[in-house]
Amino acid sequence: MNLSDVIKRPLITEKATSLKAMSNAVLFAVDRRANKKEVREAVEKMFKVKVDDVRTMNVAGKVKRRGRTVGLRPGWKKAVVVLKAGDKIEFFEGV
């Protein structure tokens, strides 16, 4: 699996920013087939940082309604990547 296939996008939420400030952790949406080793390698090579720990979790899709029609959003996989002390990833440097 390519590096760009493993990491889909960073997650920028209130919880993600508080985790980044408290424990130097960054959240990513990753491919559902990716394992922890692949996520670690992809983050280290793409952002040139050292990874301390990787935690992954499968997020179930939400049930959504539109009138009488009931649908299901697709599930996805989330990765919490804890960086070594001194390393950091900035997504919006110029903002």
Coil/strand/helix, residue 68: coil
Asked whether the beta carbons of 76 and 36 are under 8 A apart, the reply is no
Q: What pLDDT digit, counting tens, does each position of 5-63 carry?
A: 999 999 999 999 999 999 999 999 999 999 999 999 999 999 999 999 999 999 999 99
In whole angstroms, give the CA distance from residue 75 to residue 28.
Answer: 14
Query: In this structure, what DSSP letter does residue 46 have?
Result: H
